[in-house]
Every structure is written in C-alpha cells, then in structure tokens.
Amino acid sequence: MKYKKMVALMLAGMLAAAAVGGCTPMAEEESAVEEPTVEEETVELPAIPEADKDYVVRIGYYNCDHMTAAPIALAAGLYEKYGLTTEVVGNGNVPQAMTAGQMDAGYIGVEGLMKAFSKGAPIVVAADNHLGGSYYLIASNDITDAEQLVGQKVGFGTNPESSSSWLVMAKELGLPVAGSNYESFDMSDKDEYLAMKTGQLKAYTTCDPWGSMAVYEGTGHVLAMADKIPTTGDWAACCQLSMSQDFYDNHPELATRVIAAHVDAIEMIYTQPMEAARLFATAYSVPEEVALMTIWRKTVAEGRTMVWEIDRQRFEDEVAWDLEAKSIDVAPDLDALLQTGLLEAAPVDDFATFIKEEVDPVFPIGMPYEDWKLKAAEVDKG
C-alpha cells in the first residue's frame, strides 16, 4: 500500500517533466520502477499545473487533538512531500475565514460546518477526519459536585445549549443546559485550560490535549465525557477536512495533494505513534506523555476514531441527532456538502484495509495503555 504512493509521486513527476520539457525519458523511468508489481501502479497524482506552481495553500485548524493531522502533516514535511507550499494556521476562525475566501482548506467541527454551509458558506467536505470521543467537562479540584458549577465562571461558550456534546454531558450530570445559569465565556480550549489553572474559571468543556493536560498536572478532573451519540449508540461525524468550493473546483491538483498529505498524517498517527506524539507535543506545547495518552485514546482506547473515508450514513445520523438536540436549525443538503470525487480518485489507501493490515496486528483495539506504549517504543526503534 505504501509503495503505491511512492509510484504515484514518481509518475506525477514524470507528467510534470513532460509538461515543462515536452517529453519524458521513459526508458530511464521504467528501469527505476521495474521491480514493483504492475497492479500496484493503478493510481497517480495529477501534476500541478504551471499556473499553480507558486500557489500558497492556506490551511486552518483548531488547537484540538481531533484536528491534529494538520500540525503533524506540517511538522513531518508531508505537505512538502507532495510539492505543496502551505500556510498553516492554528486556532483561527476557520469557517469564517473560508467563507471570506481567506482560507483554502480547514479542519472544522461538524456542527459549525453544517451551520455555516446552511447559511450559504461555500464550503464542502473533502475528506473525513474524526468520528468523536475525547471531549470532556473538566472541573477544578475544589468542585466536588457538578451542581456547584451553577452560577460559576466557566468556559462553556456564550451559547452552550447550541452544542449537542454539552447537552449530553449536562443531562448526564443533572445540570441545567441554558448558558444563562452560568457566567460562561467563549475562548479557545488552551485559554480555558490556562484560565482554570490560574483560578479564573471553575470548569470548561474541551477536547484533548487540554482535558488530559489538566488531569496530568493535577489541576483539574473529568466530570463527564461526551461519547457516542445517544440515538444510535455509535460514532457519527465529528470533524472534517473541508475546502472552499473555489479551491476544490478550480485547483483540484492541489486539493488532491492536500488530501494525500491528510491521509499520510493519519496513517502516521496510527503506525508511528511515538514520532507523531513528539510532533504533537511540540505543536501543542504539552509533555510527550500527554500527547501519547491522547493518541492512544483516539486510535486504540476509543476505537479507530481518526479516519479519512466519507461515510454518508455517519453524516445522516449526525444530522438527525443535531436536529433533535436543536444544535442545528436546518438539515444541510448532504449531496452538495459531501464531495467525494477527489478523495476517491486520490492515490490513498483504503481505510479498512489499512487498519486491518497495518494497525490491527500491531496495536489491537482495547490494548492497555502501558502495553501500547511499550509496543510504540519498539516500533519507534525500528
């Protein structure tokens, strides 16, 4: 499977040479790829058009482990591997920037994505990214009962009732859902963590690493977790690799390479967790142990929640649940939102096959953390 990508890059290079020089030295190239089997050379990356050679692809993500493929792809040189020049921005207003034409691709939570799309934002889903899990309600250590949070300064957002994840956790704890019951602020997950650490907040809702970081440091504890959606008992859709419609339609060669880098980053998280954790820890300024715990939870403890395939049923389940939870007002047109053409044509592995052949034999689901960490260290040493 890995070889297929190498061949694709070599073929793309030959195509680019033909476009510039008018011919390709086929005899030399054929000798270079003579050894592999023919059936592996089935897909190729499209050559980057001359007009796009200097194009800077602008990519955004939130500082959340659900979207860690972006900083890992950047730090591991995966965008460069595919000949891309990128500007990667963390913790930006991704949907707004994409709507304004200031960003080409971005990692966006599904609820915000659907709301923006339904309001006319020219954004489409180009690949999936994360199914769910690892979303917490973290409280300071002096909070011993959830009811103590009523009236307190918290980081639940200015309109927490618009979040289906908050709805699940609030109901589990018997807390009132409406934000008017709290002095609630809207800030980034990292800023929430820092605010609680310095005594300015009593609790916050967050993804990792900012939940695990508080627990690791002993500055907070988990009161609740948002797990699988209540209506189906299964994962639905959480966060996606989205693209502006203009970038997707008018720069398909670049868009396909962004997708390929995205897939490589997720594969690295699964198969090279130690290296991925080092990059993760640097990008998020957390200890490597926190990064390792986060990767283990996302790829083993909770299941294979980092994905790239687009499963329409997951989105249909998410839409149904969000409508019931009233976190969205209208169902988006999934035929227009989910655009699978470039992903299906890209030279990337089939997700199920990748997991079965490269992940399951090494890191089986449910593997205890200490055993997983020992195996990850063994893999890291080669």
Cα 235 → chain centroid? 15
Residue stretches of the chain with pLDDT short of 50: 1-43
255 — phi, psi (to 5°)? -60, -40
Q: Please determine, looking at this structure, whether the domain spanning 57-132+235-312+329-381 carries the CATH number 3.10.580.10.
A: no
Single-letter residue type at 357: E
- The pLDDT of residue 29: 27
Residue bearing tokens 């997951």: 314
Residue bearing tokens 């990748």: 354
- The pLDDT of residue 361: 98
Q: Give whole-number Cα distances, 141 to 144, 187, 215, 225, 324, in Å.
A: 7, 21, 10, 17, 34
- The pLDDT of residue 66: 86
Question: How many other CB atoms are found less than 10 A from the CB of residue 231?
Answer: 13
61 — phi, psi (to 5°)? -155, 160
CATH code of the region 135-226: 3.40.190.10
pTM summary value: 0.85
- The pLDDT of residue 188: 87
Q: Which residues pair with 93 in a beta bridge?
A: none
- The pLDDT of residue 96: 81
Is residue 42 within 8 Å of residue 11, measured between CB atoms? no
Contacts of 368 (CB under 8 A, 6+ apart): none
- Structural domain boundaries in the chain: 1-47, 57-132+235-312+329-381, 135-226
- The pLDDT of residue 27: 27
pLDDT, one tens digit per residue, over 209-237 is: 999 999 999 999 999 998 888 889 999 89
Topology match between the domains 57-132+235-312+329-381 and 135-226: yes
- The pLDDT of residue 98: 81
Contacts of 209-215 with CB under 8 Å at 24 or more apart are 209/65, 209/280, 209/284, 209/286, 209/290, 209/291, 209/294, 210/64, 210/138, 211/134, 211/135, 211/136, 211/138, 212/290, 212/293, 212/294, 212/297, 213/286, 213/290, 214/138, 215/138
